[in-house]
Amino acid sequence: MLFLLRFYSDSVGSMHYSLTRSNGITITNANSKICCIIIFNNYVPTWFHHLCKPDVLAVEPNKLIRVRIASTTSLASLNLVIGNHQMILVEADGNYLQPRVIDNLDIYSGESYSVILNTDQDPSMNYWISVSQRGRKPPLPLPALTILNYKTISAVNVMPSFPPPLSPAWDDLLQSKNFTNTILGLQFNGDFPHPSAIPTPPIDGYVKWSIKNIYLVLPPTPYLGSLKFGLKNGFNATTPPETFPSTHMEIVDVILQNANVLGESVSEFHPWHLHGHDFWVLGYGDGKFSEENDEKNLNLVNPPLRNTVVDFPYGWTAIRFIADYPGVWPFHCHIEPHLHMGMGVIFAVAVDKIKQIPDGVLNFGLTAVTAPTTSNKAVGPLEPASLFHYLMYMAVVISFYVTYIQDSLTW
């Protein structure tokens, strides 16, 4: 498995600021023992940091190998390419796809894929694996490089004979859309489920992300505790104009509409992630979604089943899911600063069907200093958390939120 992430050489205290100004990208193996970013000059590797050593993806010749790839970035959109090798895309976010041959792979924060790699090239050579950043203006971090090594030769003493492969240009939006639009799920068996019937202005003096001008602020008190026990003032209960799912097994359609952000003529990639559920990706489009023109073109035959999906700049993305899992589930942009600046909503699904809540879930906020048991007899009396525990938790939440608001003003 290959983990793709951002690499920060700064101190822990400057990590938040570095989210938008980090030093590079890394690739690690499943054990995550050492990073493997390298900077190349005339394609001769130089190890960037004293903690980094060459890491390799070692393979046997003439095999078909499944490689799992996951992006754990907090901000960056990435593209992966393997020198002299094509890949067969077979899985996304834990769900199988119609197999498709690809030359490179776009991957956004929170996404995961599986590809089949055919190790049928010259086994006397090593090959570059390169990961580049996409969708953000230069200056960009240098590509992360590691080695695809056929075990017949040394992984570190024999450098690849060819330059590292190039990813598409950072602003090649057409390539990204073509890649995403050709990801198809397996043929759906039976009847596909159908449901029943401008720039964002500053909010309270701050630049924040919002949905229908309502921005998400994660509260100290767990949503599940507030809803289950009927606590007042546990969170901002203002709802957007549209009706959100509330009925168990309800079929829900969501249109993610991307618009201007932070200024005129600026729009960004947003990888959206839903907790607790998978969803079908029904389609993508440019401009504003039109029920009259776009709905008839949605894919209701073989849409891919995902839990993370990209919303392209100035475009829309349509998804559908069945609210079949009781709970309180965030749906949010997986770019970490965007989440903490308000880009998210909460789906409360059939909370009344939840019989028991583990005590540990409620040891925060209002549920940590009260013992509401009348609404849920399956939960015994809660041990109130100490005042120190509660104040420390509040301090962390406030500090975390203020840091992101301050950072947002530099965007």
Per-residue burial over 346-370, b = 16 or more CB atoms within 10 Å of its CB, e = otherwise? bbbbbbeebeebeeeebbbbbbbbe
The CB-side HSE value for 401 (13 A sphere, CA atoms) comes to 15
Specify the pLDDT at position 318: 96
pLDDT per position in the chain (411 positions), as tens? 788 876 544 444 444 444 333 344 555 544 333 334 333 333 444 444 444 455 688 999 999 999 999 998 888 899 999 999 999 999 999 999 999 999 999 999 999 999 999 999 999 999 999 999 988 888 888 888 889 999 999 887 888 999 999 999 999 999 999 999 999 999 877 777 876 544 445 556 555 666 666 778 888 888 888 888 888 788 877 766 566 655 788 899 999 988 766 556 678 899 999 999 999 999 999 999 999 999 999 999 999 999 999 999 889 999 999 999 999 999 999 988 888 888 898 888 988 898 888 777 788 888 877 644 444 443 443 444 344 443 433 343 333 333 333 333 333
Residue 142 CB coordination number (10 Å): 16
Closest CA to 4 of 121, 119, 167, 125: 167
Specify the pLDDT at position 304: 97
Specify the pLDDT at position 20: 37
Specify the pLDDT at position 18: 40
Specify the pLDDT at position 159: 85
Specify the pLDDT at position 6: 64
**Domains of the chain as residue ranges with CATH:** 2-181 (2.60.40.420), 223-408 (2.60.40.420)
Q: Quick check: helix, strand or coil at residue 206?
A: strand
The DSSP bridge partners found for residue 311 are 270
Beta-strand runs (E) in 44-155: 44-47, 56-59, 64-71, 77-82, 87-92, 95-102, 104-107, 112-118, 126-134, 144-150
Specify the pLDDT at position 276: 94
Q: Is the peptide bond before 139 cis (omega within 30 degrees of 0)?
A: yes
Specify the pLDDT at position 239: 66
- Residue located via tokens 């949503």: 223
Closest CA to 108 of 74, 144, 81: 74
Q: What is the DSSP string of 339-373?
A: HHTT-EEEEEE-GGG-----GGGG-SHHHHH----
Cα separation of 158 and 148, whole Å?
A: 11
Specify the pLDDT at position 240: 60
Instruction: Return the structure tokens found at 301.
Output: 């035959």
First to last CA, the chain: 34
Element (H, E) at 225: helix 223-229
Instruction: Return the structure tokens found at 18.
Output: 């570095």
Specify the pLDDT at position 193: 81
Instruction: Return the structure tokens found at 340.
Output: 């903490």
Q: What is the DSSP string of 238-268?
A: ---SSPPP-STTEEEEEEEE----SSTT---
The DSSP bridge partners found for residue 256 are 317
